[in-house]
Amino acid sequence: MCGRYVMARAVGDLLAEFDAQLEEEVHLPPSWNVAPTDAVPIVLERLIDDGPVRQLHLARWGLVPSWAKDPGIGPKMINARSETVLEKPAFRKAVKSRRCAVPADGYYEWKQGTGKAKQPYYVHPGKGSGLVFAGLYEWWKDPSKADGDPGRWMLSTSILTADTPPPGAESTIFGKLTALHDRVPLPMDRATMESWIDPQIDDAAFLVDLVRAHVKDAASEWHVDSVGTEVGNVRNNSPELIRPVEALF
């Protein structure tokens, strides 16, 4: 599962890294404590004038299906299980034609202790590099707003997850992640990402299998650091949240 993560890179850095462009200006402050319903950057490709155009957009984290009555369902849709994404009504249309990449610097996971005690951990690629998750996006039209209202259409996103550890990865970093949670957000290397966001590929089952098959390599250099419990409060947001500290247990 991925319920909190870090995205502290600037818009310009993301545009350069992903060779993307903006459809409109966006305001993206750095965040060391991204939470559900926050606005997050996503990278997608759209067919414009018969050719793919790569764009950076801000989307609400927590996918709102086009058929939803209101956006309240979004917080329950921050993650999409890759094993069932092709069948679930909330995701099956998006996985066929609205796939995206979700940039991040790392994510948080909690280890359950005795009673209510929980120890947070920061999972990241190390060496100052970023990572990118396989994601989906969807547009939802607010029926309460008039045509022409710039807020009538809401863009939202979800991050794909897989069981932990994937087959054959028990001796890798996934061995540590298993002790934290039985789900892991699906990372992508650059080549896999290029295929995943390509709008001209319509074989969704092939793409889901492709991402799952490369998760071991994409996460091979991940690190897991114990961090302070302050990250549990969404109001806390500073680089101090990712500073390694001694674990409580």
- At 109-158, the pLDDT tens digits run 999 888 888 999 999 998 778 999 999 999 999 998 988 888 899 999 99
- At 156-173, the pLDDT tens digits run 999 999 987 656 666 778
Q: Which two three-digit tokens encode residue 119?
A: 């120890």
The arrangement of secondary structure in 5-242, i.e. its CATH architecture, is Alpha-Beta Complex (3.90)
E strands, the chain, in order: 5-7, 21-22, 31-34, 39-48, 51-61, 79-81, 99-104, 106-112, 118-124, 131-141, 153-163, 183-185, 223-226
| Cα separation, 160 vs 183, whole angstroms | 10
**Distance, C-alpha 101 to centroid of its chain:** 7
Amino acid at 30: P
Q: What residues are labeled active site? A: 2, 109
Predicted pLDDT at 226: 97
Residue spans of the domains in the chain: they are: 5-242
Beta carbons of 224 and 119 less than 8 angstroms apart: no
Threshold 0.85, pTM exceeds: yes
Q: What's the mean pLDDT when you consider all of the chain?
A: 94
